[in-house]
């Protein structure tokens, strides 16, 4: 294929197709009615579907982000533990475990409140 040939030319596709509207209507049977407005129910349904897609994307992103953050935090903690030859003071262990639990519960609560609001329709 040369640079001057249109895309599809190698399989014999012709871009210079002229369509007669009367013949097209005849082949299709009838002219479909254009959609000029949506019913209120259709708008609400479309809004709900879009909202569900957004919520799913948000939840998945938060879950992945939380997993990455925990993986990094655990890596730093293990690096620290190796640096002190696993002689970790009890207060460091308490703070690390407490922060991890608080973070997990906090993220779950925030996501749950966003995904399932109290005034749900």
71, part of any domain:
yes
pLDDT tens per residue, range 16-31: 556 666 776 666 666 5
CB 46, CB 52: distance < 8 Å: no
Q: What is the tally of structural domains in the chain?
A: 1
63, part of any domain:
yes
11, part of any domain:
no
16, part of any domain:
no
83, part of any domain:
yes
> How many angstroms separate the Cα of 72 from the Cα of each of 13, 21, 32, 48, 53?
54, 62, 57, 36, 29
pLDDT tens per residue, range 42-72: 888 888 888 888 888 887 888 888 888 888 8
31, part of any domain:
no
> Rounded to an integer, what is the distance from CA 111 to the centroid of its chain?
15
- Count the neighbouring beta carbons within 10 Å of the beta carbon of residue 22: 8
19, part of any domain:
no
Report yes or no on whether pTM surpasses 0.95: no
- Domain span holding position 74: 40-121
5, part of any domain:
no
> How many angstroms separate the Cα of 57 from the Cα of each of 18, 41, 113?
43, 24, 16
């Amino acid at each position: 294929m040369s640079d001057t040939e249109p895309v599809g030319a190698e399989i014999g596709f012709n871009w210079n197709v002229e369509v007669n509207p009367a013949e097209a209507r005849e082949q299709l049977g009838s002219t479909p009615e254009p959609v000029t407005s949506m019913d209120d129910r259709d708008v609400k349904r479309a809004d709900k579907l879009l909202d569900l897609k957004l919520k799913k994307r948000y939840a998945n992103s938060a879950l992945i982000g939380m997993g990455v953050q925990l993986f990094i935090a655990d890596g730093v903690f293990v690096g620290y533990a190796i640096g002190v030859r696993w002689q970790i003071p009890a207060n460091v262990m308490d703070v690390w475990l407490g922060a991890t639990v608080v973070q997990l519960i906090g993220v779950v609560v925030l996501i749950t409140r966003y995904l399932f609001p109290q005034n749900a329709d």
